[in-house]
Amino acid sequence: MRRQYMMAALGAALVVVPGAAAARNDVGVAAAVNQDALRTPPGAGTRTIVLGDNLIYRERIETAGEGLVQILLVDGSTFTVGANSDLVIDEFVYDPNAGTGKLVATFGKGVARFVGGRLSKNAGGVTVKTPVGTIGIRGGIANLNLLGGGARFSLLFGDELSFTGLNGESRRIYERGYTLAIASAASGNYRPEIRRTNQADIAGVQQGLAGRGGQTGGISSPPTDSQVRNSGVGQANSGRPVVAVLPRPRPQVVESTQINEGGQVVNEINHGATNEIIRDVVVGGTPPPVEGAEVVMRVLTAASSYSPASETFTVTDPGRQGLIGGTPGSDITATFTVTAEGTQLTGTIGGETLTIPLPTGGQAAFRVVTSGGRTVAGTVHRNGDHFLAFTYFEEISAPLLVPSEVPGTVGGPLVVNAPVFGFWGVRTDPATLRETGTNQIRRYHLSADPVQVARTGVAHDLYFLNPLAGELLGPSFLQNVRTSDFLVVSGSDLTDDDPRFLVSSMLIQGQGASQSSAISVSAGQIYEDEVDGFVIGGPRRGGFRVSGYDPSVLYAGPVSSLPGSDGGHVFGPNGDNFVLGFGPGDLDAGNDSSARLPLPYETVTDTVSGYTHVGQVASISPSGEFVRTTRLLNGYASGMVEVGTNGGAAVPFWSMSPNMLTMGFDAVSNSVGASMTVLDAFDGDEHLAGLVLGFGDSLFTTGPNGQSALIDDNRYALTYNFGETFAITDDEEVIAPDSNPRSYMVPSTLVAGADNALFTDVARCTCSFLEWGYWGTRFRGEDVSETAPSDPRRRDFVHLGTWAAGDVSTYGELPTVGTASYAGHAVGNVARTTSDGPVQYLAAGNFNMTYDFGSRSGSASITNFDGYNFGGSLTSPTGSAEGLNSFVGGLSNPGETLSGVLTGSFVRGPTGPAQGVVGSFGVSDPSGAYTATGVVVGQQ
């Protein structure tokens, strides 16, 4: 009952979206209060803030020693103000139709967190005045700390934090994870310092924003346990934990269209090349660089050690993990000269001169002897006279290399721990791309990581991978990886129309305990920096599992374009090339984690890595050639949560109603947002009741946008949304994440063919008007409640969970006569105990369902799912006339060794309100040695 009450309250909280202000000067509402907080409207007396109070501009908000206030402004921005703080909203102008306006606030003392809404997306839209200077915040979350005699302003997420001091000096932060600190404001020393955000910066604000025990959040009479039991919530929700219905507009139903090649290649799947060292891509017809021309290349090499900024350890052999650059000696510039009528490139690196042969275009192999007598072998990439890149390794031995006769081989063993990578390019002029005048979809090919190629002998498409993970997965897996390519969607002006990118690569290979799986995802933005021109940036997300016996590994870290020697990130007259990597200049790196660290790696220092990929444009198409639909969908999700505090034990979590997955698609802003709730329905976790996860752009007003990109209705990707993610305990306590969750979400159509192994003996549902796919997360937080277990830390991992969604019909729209049959598939995760230990993997099965709308009864079955068949009867659909419909049914197999539950909803299709079905299921045996959870999709 307590969980039912908690989930109903959660649903109600999520639907509180501010509408029109009650009066012209209303700017927001008090969304949360611990009542040691006061408000003083202009010209009026001071009064205690009450939950739901409308707040007006120029009103002073003050908190005392136990005070905490969250102010929700009508544009979706929030200020969370901690104890002993002082805030005034000086100016607030907002046009909700245009999304334009201005927010000016004065923050006089204390701690606060600002979460940007629509105004923060505009340059100069949000300004906060402080005693030490003025802050500008664009598109993100910022912590403000004026305690301890100094000032610290941290950009946790977003595009930019600017600062103008009292002396007029300006500083800017362009990347999340950095803090602007003023050591001693009280002494008059206002000189700012920009540095990486540390744990003390986070903890100082977090402690100030944490609610104290015994408070009620502004509720004058909190319900007792007895009142909860007698509230009728359980009966109103049919005895099941259902989230309250979310209000939603009625979207237009448009059948998804598979776009094929028709003059423009828009959905090509590129396979990793088998045993291929060189991808011989010849573009030809481009003039060589001028004889005698000099190019200044940025050259990255492996140092003797690498100390990642976010870690406490040092990597002593960084080259084997792709960690190049990062120190003055390993990140240098070198001048090369074009000779031999544009066919050679000669320069000096590390005191040795070498001459590299230049191809006419594309990529080619080379093997040369340096002036020091060493033989090096590698590849060189060239695009016309505006981009060059090379990589090489030293050969231990030097047999003659003849690529045409011995494809996929090099002259001898390579010193793969000492890679050298150099590149140069002519910076793209942003003005040339502004003149295109059309919305575009750009497709780029990404080259294989040269360190991966050297270590595994396979030029594969699993991007941003730790080289040591590549060796664990092996060549037979890597050579079959599929990719979406690097896709960019933009408006007619790349600077003003929020261009976004996505790239994903994926493979599920094998079945059962021998199954291997991996997915790599990045979705982010391309923005124009006033110094560096176009810059590409997003998060590294995804994960892998070497076999069913191994723990899953989840990714973190940056994916960003690397600047050349002159600071430019994108090269060529039409944005033709770039180099994607990690953050060597900031000592940033990719980071892998699992519920059983350091497994599957040998040591924790193996978990960090670098990666390098050259991007080259392959096609440019008008976005009008792609089907892109603005819509709102609902559905279900499921996944095996590996609990880090319990040795990685897997617990099935899944959604129980269609409100627990909401997805919003915006074809105008090229964005997607999703909110997902999954529950511990089998009570397998001793303390956690559910996870609420945000993906991509915010659907509600509880936080800022994450990262997402919508290319077309079949290709989109979403990554973490910090502001809409939290966990809920069995005692209804909320656990906030202590770091950005490593979340991702993709449709099954993004990387076509990557999951074919699951459907070897199963008919995949075509289901053109339904959506389903995969997701993952790593949630980390600390339970500070009185009922927390002895180890209060939460580390919960999900690798390749599943989801399904559609335009779920209201209960009142369902037919009242007739019967229907549905066919499709089930796909999900299995966890079982064997004599060799616990095993996890994905499986698929056939899904069938029949329903009599007149008698309100039916049956459903899932067959050939991991060798099992199970099914059962269905209850009548439930819901209010205007609420989303849902049904439930029991599941069992003929031998009654498995039992469980199926929940689902009827979905609108092109021909009617019940043309399809989406749902979720969970089954287990009596001992709990076998559990499975997944989603179903089906159509008439």
Higher pLDDT: 471 or 269? It is: 471
DSSP state of 58: T
User: Whole-number mean pLDDT of the chain?
Assistant: 82
E-assigned strand segments in 232-357: 294-301, 331-339, 344-349, 352-357
**pLDDT score at 38:** 74
- In the structure encoding, which two tokens stand for residue 845, read together? 């099965």
Is 219's pLDDT higher than 50? Answer: no
In DSSP terms, 744 is beta-bridged to 719, 776
Which of 26-35, 93-102, 243-252, 486-495 is least confident? 243-252
**pLDDT score at 246:** 32
Asked if 939 and 824 touch (Cβ cutoff 8 Å), the reply is: yes
- 149 phi-psi bin (left φ>0, alpha ψ -120 to 50, beta other): left
State pLDDT tens for residues 623-656.
778 888 999 999 999 999 999 888 889 999 999 9
pLDDT band with cut points at 50, 70 and 90 for residue 10? very low
In DSSP terms, 26 is beta-bridged to 56
Angle at alpha carbon of residue 904, lines to 903 and 909, rounded to 5°: 175
Average pLDDT over residues 900-905: 96
Which of 261-265, 399-403, 470-474, 851-855 is least confident? 261-265
**pLDDT score at 32:** 53
Contacts of 445 (CB under 8 A, 6+ apart): 270, 281, 485, 486, 615, 616, 618
pLDDT band with cut points at 50, 70 and 90 for residue 402? very low
CB-based contacts of 247-254 (< 8 A; 24+ apart in sequence): 247/15, 248/632, 248/634, 248/662, 249/632, 251/630, 251/631, 251/632, 251/633, 251/807, 252/629, 252/631, 253/769, 253/807, 253/908, 253/909, 253/910, 254/627, 254/629, 254/631, 254/713
Is 3's pLDDT higher than 60? Answer: no
Is 619's pLDDT higher than 70? Answer: yes
- In the structure encoding, which two tokens stand for residue 825, read together? 């598939």
**pLDDT score at 77:** 84
**pLDDT score at 783:** 84
Is 458's pLDDT higher than 80? Answer: yes
State pLDDT tens for residues 906-930.
999 999 999 999 999 999 999 889 9
Q: Express as a percent the part of the chain with pLDDT over 90.
A: 51
The reported pTM is: 0.72
Contacts of 358 (CB under 8 A, 6+ apart): 288, 289, 338, 342, 343, 344, 345, 380, 382, 388
In DSSP terms, 838 is beta-bridged to 833
H helix count then E strand count, the chain: 8, 59
**pLDDT score at 92:** 81
Is 393's pLDDT higher than 70? Answer: yes
Residue-wise DSSP of 405-446: TSTT--SS-B-TTS-EEEEEEPBP-HHHHHTT-S-EEEEEEE
**pLDDT score at 811:** 93
pLDDT band with cut points at 50, 70 and 90 for residue 822? very high
State pLDDT tens for residues 227-284.
444 444 344 333 433 333 333 333 232 222 222 222 222 222 222 222 222 333 333 3
- In the structure encoding, which two tokens stand for residue 805, read together? 């969604």
Is 50's pLDDT higher than 70? Answer: no
pLDDT band with cut points at 50, 70 and 90 for residue 171? confident
Is 285's pLDDT higher than 60? Answer: no
- In the structure encoding, which two tokens stand for residue 556, read together? 């973190």
State pLDDT tens for residues 66-100.
678 888 887 888 888 888 888 888 888 877 777 78
pLDDT band with cut points at 50, 70 and 90 for residue 286? very low
Compute the distance between CA of residue 586 and CA of residue 499 in angstroms, rounded to an integer: 25
State pLDDT tens for residues 119-155.
888 878 899 999 888 999 887 788 999 887 788 999 8
